[in-house]
């Protein structure tokens, strides 16, 4: 039997009690043809019934998956366009791992394809981005500091009653680091809050307690993902034009990228990647946007932080 995909030569046959052998593994061309012709004559749906009546020795589930992800006429094959990639990125920052929901915004693309794309390209890219500490640019530091500031600010806003956070400690893997906290997300503002890491603990010295509280948008960090957050080593007061360029760029993801609106997902991979993409858009050297792992706070720690805020 010819195989439809590039070729795992073996397929698994599962025997059932009634002597009905259920096939698993890669689909053959014959099976594809059978499924296509059956659906052409009878339509989609009732997958279990379809599996039985079509003569395919597959589960209904398997038939459905094969049809939706591969055989359906409008399924697009091939690489994702840059527009699609950006859209995926943006939607993921909004919705998190809602692959099906995201896929609905990309005609012809399947949730499986998008999921695979995200896992292989985006996560790995974000994970392995590295920062050359001696070559970092002010721009990148600014962007990353801004992201951190936004995150902390949002966390603060999301839990106004818990804003005695100066009493709460967040373990960080590095000591003696001070992160300026800007009182607004505007341009060129001066730091009003500092997050100082001492003795492995991160204390928020809250000076600006007057910010208005907003409803909790559900910031959260997926504890299962391996993204990290960078620190900002110094105040960056002369980055106005760069930031304007950042906000004026065409990526909707720039201004509040990575911050989940509705599904409890703050995606730090997205944060890192966004920075990369922005820098690329501005034609900055790639090495300038790479991140140093030793300065990372991992996702478990961020998760802990998020829970503290709640």
Partner DNA sequence: AATTTGCCCAACCGCAGTACG
Partner DNA sequence: TCGTACTGCGGTTGGGCAAAT
Closest CB to DNA among residues 216, 264: 264
Q: Are 43 and 53 in contact (CB under 8 A)?
A: no
In whole angstroms, give the CA distance from residue 158 to residue 148. Answer: 15
E strand intervals along the chain: 12-15, 21-24, 169-171, 178-182, 191-198, 201-205, 228-229, 297-298
CB of 213 to DNA, least distance (A): 30
CB of 203 to DNA, least distance (A): 33
Closest CB to DNA among residues 127, 138: 127
Pairing, β 228-229 against β 201-205: unpaired
Closest CB to DNA among residues 119, 130: 119
CB of 263 to DNA, least distance (A): 9
Closest CB to DNA among residues 84, 113: 113
The distance of Cα 43 from the centroid of its chain, to the nearest Å, equals 36
Closest CB to DNA among residues 95, 139: 95
Q: Are 32 and 66 in contact (CB under 8 A)?
A: yes
Radius of gyration of the chain (CA): 24
Residues in the site for DNA, rule: CB under 7 A? 4-10, 23-27, 45-49, 58, 60-62, 64-66, 69-70, 79, 97-101, 111-113, 115-117, 119-121, 124, 128, 224
CB of 35 to DNA, least distance (A): 11
The distance of Cα 143 from the centroid of its chain, to the nearest Å, equals 18
DSSP secondary structure string, 132-153? -GGG--HHHHHHHHHHHHHHHH
Closest CB to DNA among residues 11, 183: 11
In whole angstroms, give the CA distance from residue 310 to residue 299. Answer: 16
CB of 308 to DNA, least distance (A): 23
CB atoms within 10 A of CB 52: 16
CB of 262 to DNA, least distance (A): 12
CB of 292 to DNA, least distance (A): 19
């Amino acid at each position: 039997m010819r195989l439809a995909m590039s070729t795992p030569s073996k397929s698994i046959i599962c025997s059932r009690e009634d002597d009905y052998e259920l096939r698993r593994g890669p689909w053959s061309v014959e099976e594809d043809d059978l499924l296509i012709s059956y659906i052409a004559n009878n339509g989609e749906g009732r997958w279990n019934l379809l599996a039985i009546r079509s003569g395919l020795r597959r589960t209904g589930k398997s038939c459905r998956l094969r049809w939706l992800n591969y055989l359906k006429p409008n399924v697009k094959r091939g690489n994702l366009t840059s527009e699609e990639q950006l859209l995926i990125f943006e939607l993921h920052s909004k919705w998190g791992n809602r692959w099906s929901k995201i896929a609905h915004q990309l005609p012809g693309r399947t949730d499986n394809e998008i999921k695979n794309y995200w896992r292989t390209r985006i996560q790995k890219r974000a994970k392995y981005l590295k920062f050359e500490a001696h070559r970092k640019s002010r721009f990148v530091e600014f962007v990353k500091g801004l992201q951190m500031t936004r995150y902390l600010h949002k966390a603060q806003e999301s839990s106004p009653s818990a804003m005695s956070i100066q009493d709460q400690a967040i373990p960080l893997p590095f000591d003696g680091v001070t992160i300026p906290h800007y009182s607004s997300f505007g341009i060129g503002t001066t730091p009003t809050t500092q997050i100082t890491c001492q003795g492995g603990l991160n204390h928020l010295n809250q000076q600006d307690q007057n910010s208005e509280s907003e409803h909790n948008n559900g910031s959260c960090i997926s504890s299962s993902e391996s993204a990290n957050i960078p620190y900002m080593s110094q105040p960056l007061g002369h980055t106005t034009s760069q930031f304007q360029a950042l906000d004026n760029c065409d990526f909707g993801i720039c201004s509040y990228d990575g911050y989940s609106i509705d599904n409890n997902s703050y995606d730090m991979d997205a944060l890192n990647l966004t920075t990369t993409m922005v820098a690329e858009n501005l034609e900055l050297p790639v090495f300038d946007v790479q991140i140093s792992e030793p300065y990372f706070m991992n996702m478990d720690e961020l998760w802990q932080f998020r829970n503290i805020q709640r």
